[in-house]
Structures are given as structure tokens and as C-alpha cells.
Amino acid sequence: TVEFFLLLCAAYLLGSVSFAVLLARLRHQPDPRSFGSRNPGASNMLRLGHRRLALATLIGDMGKGAVAVWLAAHMGLLPVQQAWVGLLAVIGHILPLYHRFHGGKGVATAAGVLLVLSWPAALIAGLVWLAIFTIRSIASLASLAACVALVPWMAWHSPELQIPVSLMVLIILLRHRLNIGRLLAGNENRFRF
């Protein structure tokens, strides 16, 4: 339908708003694409040493994913259509129109999407993320583990959403290829608090 198509476009445009870049600019901080992992995301904002800015980035990036899916649900779209809308928000974050397609890795945005789409799935992924991060202090490893845990969970509990959610996971995993390389080489960035 026309509504579905328009929402896909709106979700992409909304996802394209990079809160890391915007907040850094607003607070006169260095561009997150110029330091650390060079990723415009909450983890890299934390590397800057600004917990509040990192938290605000996390909330903003999660919020745009959540709002996109919430809008789709509010307009009466089917859950599977809501999941496609969520996927477009994640793609917007990764390949943003306003930032010459140099975006983030999509983890926080996907978390926001999941939160509205299926809160138990978001809870499981969130718990896996926290557990791995607590044990190893590596954000990318926690994100990869949460992504991997999500696939069987969705297959079992929400098989109708499996295609868009698996695609979302696949895109996020591909986006972490440099992190995977560093993890395998044993030199991925660890957080020290």
C-alpha cells in the first residue's frame, strides 16, 4: 500500500539522523567519526569520556527506531510490515542520506526497533549484550552475541518476523566486519572504567 511505502521512506529518513554526530556538534565535541573506532554511535561517544552524551546518543538512536515502528503500528500495519519499517530505520542509520552514507553500525537503532516490535526479544538481546559486556568489556563482542542470540529466539517465538529481523541482524554483522577482524586478532578496543 501507499502508506507502507511512505512509512518505509520516512523510516529511512528518520534513521538517517545520526545522534552521535548531531550531539557532538551541539556540545562542541570532536566528530565521533574522527576518533576511537570512528563509529558515530553510543559506544564511541563513551570513548570520548562523556557518559551523558553517550547515554543521550543511545536514547536518540534507539528512539528513532522505536518511533518508526510505533508509527507503523499506530497506522495499523501488520507486525511483519512494522518489522520492514524498522529495518529501513536501521539501514538509514547505517547508510544515512544526510551524512554521505557514512553511518553507524545499527545496534542501538535495532534495539529500539525490537523494543516496540517484540519487547521480550529486546529484553533477551539486551540481557545478552549486558552479560557479555560485563564479562569482557568489549562493546562489539556484546553486540555480535546479542545479534546471534536473536535469530533462534525470533525463529521460535515470532517466525512471521524472521525474514526482516534476520536481514537486520545480517546487515549489522556485516557492518561489524572490522570489529570481527580486530576480535580475531585479539586487539579489539576494551572499555576500562
* Contacting positions for ligand G3P (CB under 6 A): 37, 39, 41, 43-44, 105, 107, 139-140, 143, 179, 189
**Nearer to ligand G3P among residue 43 and residue 82 (C-beta):** 43
**Nearer to ligand G3P among residue 80 and residue 167 (C-beta):** 167
**Nearer to ligand G3P among residue 88 and residue 93 (C-beta):** 93
185: exposed, middle or buried (C-beta count within 10 Å: 0-12, 13-18, 19+)?
exposed
* Shortest spacing between CB 10 and ligand G3P, in angstroms: 24
Pairwise CA distance, residues 31 & 20, whole Å: 8
What's the alpha-carbon Rg for the chain, to the nearest Å? Answer: 16
Please check whether residue 140 is in contact with residue 176, taking contact to mean a CB–CB distance below 8 angstroms.
Answer: yes
**Nearer to ligand G3P among residue 139 and residue 171 (C-beta):** 139
* Shortest spacing between CB 82 and ligand G3P, in angstroms: 23
For 167, other C-beta atoms within 10 Å of its C-beta total 15
